[in-house]
Amino acid sequence: MMNSSIKILAFGAHPDDCDISAGGTALLWAKAGCKVKFVSVTNGEGGHHEMSGEELVARRTAESQAAAKIAGIEYLVMDNPDGQLVPGLEQRWKMMRVIREFKPDLILTHRPNDYHPDHRYTSQLVQDCAYLVGVPNVCPDVPPLRSEPVIAYFQDNFQKPHPFHPDVTIDIDPVYEEKIQMLHCHQSQFYEWLPWIGRHDIPVSNDPEERLKNLRRFARPFSEPKEEAQELLRQRYGEKHGSGVQHAECFEGCEYGAPLNQEAIRRLFPLPE
């Protein structure tokens, strides 16, 4: 049984980023009694073609809180402007305070090579905090961490300068429909903004059941285990179980945190009862 005192902190650049990449594992952690916190490093004010400003921030924050309620986790939307994130000192200190106050055992975030500058700079900020979270004279208004957290990256499909290679893969089949319900909360994105900006070509319907069906089609590539992931699933869950997994979430260790070795994987990532 997993240690319920484990604390997981995930940084996505925008509301919904963590949900897409780690929503299923977050559900498993929460069901195991662990404390999970998703953080949107920007306020999401750029993510729409008809709404903007405080109205959109309020809507996306409400969507995040609705998703958090389904998962049984915390969700923080920070006040950095969407589309304007930079890895500066002010932004670093904001993130540093979030990390130190939460005291995570594991931090998740984007990889540093990504199409979106907010994704890249969220990753950069996490890396910039990796060592400094334990330095007392840096950001001294919040006590430093006494133990170094493990840091791991969300999965992506970018190939340059180097492709994603999973170190751990989690079977999320038991909670996949709950993850879909989490994504369904972000209606401003999956049913309005992303189709408009051309990030997916799935038709948008006004029928609730058709919407969910199309959302499943959109989400499927984000959780379909590829060859490396399939091998890790067989190693982790056994040949029969691992070979039958339909939906999985993968994570790659960041060398700036504590090692994501086999002991850390056993301690930090949920296994079936």
- Tell me the pLDDT tens digit for each residue of 166-198: 999 999 999 999 999 999 999 999 999 999 998
What whole-number distance in Å separates Cα of residue 36 and Cα of residue 9? 6
Residue 221 within any structural domain of the chain = no
Strand, helix or coil at 165? coil
Residue 114 within any structural domain of the chain = yes
pLDDT at 17: 98
Residue 73 within any structural domain of the chain = yes
Residue 110 within any structural domain of the chain = yes
pLDDT at 199: 76
What whole-number distance in Å separates Cα of residue 273 and Cα of residue 174? 12
pLDDT in tens, 80-119: 999 999 999 999 999 999 999 999 999 999 999 999 999 9
pLDDT at 273: 52
Whether the pLDDT of residue 3 is over 90: the answer is no
Residue 193 within any structural domain of the chain = no
Both structure tokens of 46 = 């750029």
Instruction: Provide the domain limits for residue 87.
Output: 7-170+248-268
What whole-number distance in Å separates Cα of residue 210 and Cα of residue 204? 8
Q: Exposure pattern of 204-243 as b/e (b: 16+ CB <10 Å)?
A: eeeeeeebbebbeebbeebbebeeebbebbbebbeeeebe
Averaged pLDDT for residues 5-17: 97
pLDDT in tens, 31-62: 999 999 999 999 999 999 999 999 999 999 99
CATH of the domain at 66: 3.40.50.10320
Residue 234 within any structural domain of the chain = no
Angle in degrees, 0-180, between the axes of helices 17-31 and 208-223, rounded to the nearest 10: 90
Residue 152 within any structural domain of the chain = yes
Domain count, the chain: 1
pTM of the model as a whole: 0.97
Residue 148 within any structural domain of the chain = yes
